[in-house]
Amino acid sequence: MPATPPEHSRAAARPVAPAPLWQAGWYAPARRCPSPNVGERPAGVAVDLLVIHSISLPPGEYGGDAVPRLFTNTLDWDAHPYFQQIRGLQVSAHFFIRRDGALWQFASTQARAWHAGASSHRGRANCNDFSVGIELEGLEGHMFEAVQYAALAALCRAIGTQHPIRAVAGHEHIAPGRKQDPGPGFDWPRLRRLTGRPGWQFP
């Protein structure tokens, strides 16, 4: 009769539980890069809106580190002439999706990021209080990459497991006349189809 394996051998054979996808509003698949430009959400407010933005720094230039540096207050304002127009700006978003689909996170979804500014959605002002802001690397009016749509849809679904999301809107929809992103180059029907959430409201 074979000898009984020692206890440590039996323990080593037990399956290891996978790490949770979410911890305190931080999404494990995203590259974590905390921003200081965050605050607390008002007590008792449900996070039920996703706001889609587009950003590139300088405008139309992709792949650099200017956007993460902007969101972390480390941007060299003298590195490019355009940066003088936004010198001293303190903003953030919860997520940033690069042209290649890479995902960054700058704020817990439980926190209030500074992405919407003066805004209103369906009669409710101050969208930062009840929304998650997602930035796509791109230029308003231009097209976005297939991998960005795939990453965005997966992220939207994942956020929907943590918060009672009811609607998705563009920055242009919650701040009309002041903002134009993500613009006419963004394919809203495509996002709706990929997200697969028929109960959510889309533009």
The helix/strand/coil state of 145 is coil
Tokens 């231009």 found at: 142
Q: Is 135 a catalytic residue?
A: yes
Ramachandran area for residue 128 (φ above 0: left; ψ -120 to 50: alpha; else beta)? alpha
Cβ neighbours of residue 190 closer than 8 Å, sequence gap 6 or more = 149
Among 135, 137, 140, 172, the one annotated catalytic: 135
The owner of tokens 């563009």 is 170
CA atoms within 13 A on the CB side of 10: 5
Q: What does the DSSP 8-state code read for residue 179?
A: B
Q: Other CB atoms closer than 10 Å to residue 13's CB: what's the count? A: 8
What is the number of residues in the chain?
A: 203
Which sequence positions are flagged as catalytic?
135
